Amino acid sequence: MNIQALLKEPISTRELLASLRSRLEPMAVKGKYISDNMPELVQETIANAEQAYQGMIKLPGTGGVREFVGNPPCWLERRHNDNEYLWQLNRMNHWQDLLEAYSLTQDEKYGRKVIEEMLHWIETVEIHDDMIDYPIGYFKECNPLRALELGIRNYKTWPLVLEHLGHTEMFTEAVLEQYLGAVYKQIKILRKVSPILWPKADHNHFLMECLGILTTALYFPELQEAEEWKAFAIEGIERCCSAQLTEDGGQIEGCPSYHNGCMFWFGLAVVLAKRFNFQFSDKYMELFRKNLDYSIYSLRPTGKCVPVGDSHANNLAIMGGVYGYLALDELTWLGLGNNLIDIRETMHEASKHVWRALDVQRFYEDLGTLQGKHYECDKLTTFWNRTLHQAIIRSGWDSGALSFLFTCRSPIQNFHAHIDLMSFDFTALGKNMICDPGIFCYRDDEDRKQFKSSNYHSTLLIDERDHFEYLSSFGYGPQKIGEIYNVEDRGFFQVASAYHMNYEPIVHHRHIAMVDNKIVIIADRVEGLEHNSVQRYFHLDYTEVKAASDAVIATNDIANLAIYTYPREEVDLLPGRLSDVNDIARAATRVRFQGTYSGTVTLLTVLVPYKGDHAPDVNIQFVGDCCYEFNYGGHYQIVVKENDIEICKPVQEG
């Protein structure tokens, strides 16, 4: 391609390369500082680079281990019946380790490996001019030119080639011509198809695609379309902010992992604005700041986010905190996360982003101030996002606190949601006890169906039916209304209430309350039954579980859980699985209580976390008119109403 035809002014490739180099960061200086001060990061980066150099890469479908992908990679090969394998291979994430290893060691083999792979990709994945007129569906299919990959390559990995190699003799004028020709074709396609795919700007894909367009325009302002691309991308990212970041805090999809990813993407946009001298609106900055709080709210006391929907139980609240720092020059969110996450883990995860810091030394030194420091948290312990229909209630901000996330959103926002209406995730005493199962995979197979299904979540089913129909990995049948309609702090207890109509004419209300910061009470009221079976599932992060005569007892070296119910229904202990990362799951236990009812039934559950060998004695008594009583370090009375639950502690005589 004659790249001069793409430029505003007829300058030579040599002049263009010199102009590009004037805009690049001083990676040699950054590399020297990192090499001198961050030996663990250096060691890990070089080890990863050596694996990537040999063509050994970990991808979706590879079972959580590295696999030989070809040397150079087989860019067009789809393996393991997994589209994500091909898509993520074509994001070239392994280049980051190779390029950083070059800047750390000055060993040209790492840089030349990236150049060779890039040129091989350009030759293999031919981009023809007429592709811009392909049917829009082509850019959603399993190929290297899916719109999302066009965006990710061009904001995340290909610019790193410029930053780490652009000043070197490896990045020749000929390489620049190949690079710019390929990037130009990709962004020209993306500029056309992305707004068609995401007209409402309400999906994380559009955000990343806009970042790809913006980054290209900033690195190559000499392109004829650069000004229009820049203006489009900035407006698009602003639209993403308005459409995706909710006023209560929390990205619109309601998946904590994707939310933390969005804090990276929205924060990276601000870092680019700082570097290239432009600004986002005050509203953008205000919403970004507000939504950083959700990264902390959705963090379990044990230091991993709740894997609601297509989320992993990971530590990426740290990443959210990093980009809060890089964008706003504040350590607040890193500090708050560090209260719940081991400082070594915080430092390790945060250090992965050190190369993006405009001032590496300041970033590293500020990270060091987190050592041994406890951040005082003035945030409320009761959180309600009315858009996401999520409630997060916790007893405090320490690692041993009780905490649950409760969700009920129907119809769903998009297909990253699971079939999990009125499900919850519960942590106490330093132990994840009742867990959302996570993603496991995106493949359209039985694993995906199982991890998305209602009976893999801690919720209530009628006649063992999902709340709505599962059609495919990213497809559901129609859904009826479901919502959280009240969240309230009532002193000694905090409560969240929800209902849904997906079993219409049967209506299910669920009230879940944290009481005296030591127990959780769940009241299920189901109306309109006609000899229907009712199942209540609890997905426990335990393998040692037994059903005793009065309770289900789950035990572990860290902390135990006792589950008491009324009425005492049939109990089954079923195999479960919980997944923290792609393709890997650990054994768990699902508890199923079930009975058959007509009319209206109220089902009460009391969760009692405890330590030690002796389970607490909780005997729930029905005293009439939807009223129940039990003793546990005091006397409790519960009245379950249609739209509410009342809990009191009457004084007993004598």
Residue 58: predicted pLDDT = 97
312/437 Cα distance (integer angstroms): 9
The predicted model scores a pTM of 0.96
Local confidence band at 652 (pLDDT 50, 70, 90 cut-offs): low
Q: What's the rounded mean pLDDT across residues 237-242? A: 98
Give the model's pLDDT for residue 420: 98
| Lowest-pLDDT choice from 49-53, 150-154, 376-380, 593-597 | 376-380
Residue 573: burial class (beta carbons within 10 Å; 0-12, 13-18, 19+): middle
| pLDDT, tens only, 570-582 | 999 999 999 999 9
CA 394, CA 43: separation in Å to the nearest integer?
39
Quick check: 654 pLDDT over 60? no
Average pLDDT rounded to a whole number, residues 43-54: 98
Per residue in 348-404, pLDDT tens? 999 999 999 999 999 999 999 999 889 999 999 999 999 999 999 999 999 999 999
Q: What is the residue-wise DSSP string for 582-603?
A: TTEEEEEEEEEEEEEEEEEEEE
Residue whose structure tokens are 């007993």: 652
- Whether 651 has a pLDDT exceeding 80, the answer reads no
Tell me, what's the pLDDT at 196?
A: 98
CA 93 to chain centre: 18
80 CB neighbour count, 10 Å cutoff: 17
pLDDT digits (tens, 9 = 90+) for 323-347: 999 999 999 999 999 999 999 999 9
- 478, with CB counted inside 10 A (0-12, 13-18, 19+), is exposed
Averaged over 440-458, what is the pLDDT? 97
Q: What is the pLDDT of residue 100?
A: 98
What percent of the chain has a predicted confidence (pLDDT) above 70? 99
- The dihedral built from the CA positions of residue 640, 645, 651 and 654, taken in this order, carries a sign that is positive
Instruction: Report, as an integer, the average pLDDT of 188-202.
Output: 98
DSSP-derived 3-state class of residue 96:
helix
Residue 502: the pLDDT is 98
Q: What is the mean pLDDT of residues 627-649?
A: 94
Count of CB atoms situated within 10 Å of the CB of 357:
20
pLDDT band at 549 (very low <50, low <70, confident <90, very high): confident
The pLDDT tens digits for 81-128 are: 999 999 999 999 999 999 999 999 999 999 999 999 999 999 999 999
